Amino acid sequence: MGMKRAVWARVSVGLLILGVCVGCGEPPPVDMSLLTGEPCRPPCWQGLTPGVSTEEEVNALLLTSELVDQSTMFRGEITRGRGEVIGVSIQWWSTANMATVPRQFGNFADIVDGVLQAMTIGLDSKVTLQDLLEQYGYPDKFTAYMTPSYPRDVSVALYYASHGFIAELILAPEDVALRPETDILYIAYFRVAPVDEFLDLATYGAAAIEETAQDWQGYGPIQLIP
């Protein structure tokens, strides 16, 4: 994903996948909260809000929500500096994602000092860039860079500081352009903060992020800044 974790290292990030339900009756529920605002709007997700919700509240939601496949939950440590454990990262797949093949992105919640700091939620429903702009307006900033691993893609992050989230999407390197129909793939939730502070918060202190962040330029080709 587009965030560079320069300060916090998440350890043991594997997910234990125990199987896919085949031939089940009712289709699994799909989270539509990004566009509907139900049960809450960003930076809240399903009642959880970064900087506010406690570890106990996160655990209670994940262990009871019909959106979460509890069999896939995995807990790993968040460390800092020379290995000091400062929190926990909880990872899971949604029930809707587990019912599809191939599966897309997993989800995670980072908790530090007993308080939720960030969540990343893969979208199980189709949300286009046009849908996002109609709902939340233009982003405060965006970044675009070539991913280092194969296959080489272009990762684009749209920063919404006043709403406390980042929308992430992937473009093909031979067609680096934003279009209304471009799909949003996942949302990263953080605390609401002024733009400069949000950029630092949402990139975990990655160096020089402000130098690579660009102003919104509308649809069309975008520039990659190393």
* Model confidence pLDDT, tens digit, residues 41-52: 999 999 999 999
Q: Is the pLDDT of residue 15 over 50?
A: no
Q: Domain for residue 26, yes or no? A: no
Residue 148: band (very low, low, confident or very high) from pLDDT cuts 50, 70, 90? confident
Q: Domain for residue 27, yes or no? A: no
Q: Domain for residue 148, yes or no? A: yes
For the chain, how many helices (H) and strands (E)?
6, 11
**Could you give the number of structural domains in the chain?**
1
Q: 186-189 and 68-80: which strand pairing? A: unpaired
Q: Domain for residue 30, yes or no? A: no
The pLDDT of residue 98:
77
Four-residue CA torsion sign, 30, 31, 35, 36: positive
Residue 21: band (very low, low, confident or very high) from pLDDT cuts 50, 70, 90? very low
Q: Domain for residue 224, yes or no? A: no
Q: Domain for residue 3, yes or no? A: no
Q: Domain for residue 82, yes or no? A: yes
Check if the beta carbon of residue 225 is closer than 8 Å to that of residue 145: yes
Of 7-21, 35-49, 73-87, 170-184, the one with minimum mean pLDDT is: 7-21
Q: For the chain, what percent of residues have pLDDT higher than 90?
A: 66
Residue numbers of the domain that contains 178: 9-17+35-215
Of 33-37, 76-80, 186-190, the one with minimum mean pLDDT is: 76-80
Q: What is the pTM of this model?
A: 0.85
CA distance 190 to 201: 8
